[in-house]
């Protein structure tokens, strides 16, 4: 990666850090020229930090597939089952756990399918990110779409 690309990537990442579930609920009236409030007044949750790292990890997976390399993850995605969230009642729900398990299955299968099936498996993986978010946390969907 050259330096310009690195800088651009950094800016994109910094910019995208402002995205969370609560984004859609922000009142529009009073944010003209105002400094953005932190998304979570108590700081970022374990789950939010994990999700950002997952985003980057899946970006790497996309590169690995494009390069025909074998898939290697740098993160334990199973932590989505235990990480603490902004709305623990949501992330502890049966629905959340079901989405999380389907996601983890899709992650496993992307490693095991034959090379010719990797691209389809990748799409279905990102769709699994999306399904959970559509149901429980729509804010980051715009960002997740960038993985496709």
Which residues of this chain interact with ligand HEC, rule CB under 6 A? 17, 19-21, 45, 47-48, 51-52, 54-55, 58, 80, 85-86, 90-91, 96, 99-100, 103, 128-129, 132-133, 136-137, 140, 143-144, 147
DSSP 90-132: HHTSHHHHHHHHHHHHHHHHHHHS-GGGHHHHHHHHHHHHHHH
User: Which lies closer to ligand HEC via its Cβ, residue 31 or residue 134?
Assistant: 134
Smallest separation (angstroms) from ligand HEC to the CB of 53: 10
Phi, psi (5° rounding) for residue 21? Answer: -55, -40
Distance CA(119)–CA(117), nearest Å, equals: 6
Distance CA(29)–CA(35), nearest Å, equals: 13
User: Which lies closer to ligand HEC via its Cβ, residue 69 or residue 95?
Assistant: 95
User: Which lies closer to ligand HEC via its Cβ, residue 16 or residue 113?
Assistant: 16
Smallest separation (angstroms) from ligand HEC to the CB of 114: 22
Smallest separation (angstroms) from ligand HEC to the CB of 2: 26
Phi, psi (5° rounding) for residue 72? Answer: -130, 130
User: Which lies closer to ligand HEC via its Cβ, residue 99 or residue 118?
Assistant: 99
């Amino acid at each position: 990666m050259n330096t310009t690309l690195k800088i651009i990537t950094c800016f994109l990442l910094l910019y995208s850090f402002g995205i969370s579930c609560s984004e859609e609920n922000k009142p529009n009236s009073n944010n003209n020229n105002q400094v953005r409030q932190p998304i979570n007044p108590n700081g970022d949750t374990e789950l939010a930090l994990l999700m950002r790292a997952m985003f980057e990890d899946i970006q790497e997976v996309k590169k690995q597939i494009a390069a025909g390399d074998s898939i290697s993850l740098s993160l334990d995605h199973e932590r989505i089952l235990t990480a603490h969230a902004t709305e623990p009642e949501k992330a502890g729900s049966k629905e959340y756990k079901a989405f999380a398990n389907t996601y983890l299955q899709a992650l496993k299968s992307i490693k095991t399918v034959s090379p010719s099936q990797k691209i389809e498996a990748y799409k279905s993986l990102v769709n699994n990110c999306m399904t959970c978010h559509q149901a429980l946390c729509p804010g980051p969907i715009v960002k997740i779409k960038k993985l496709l």
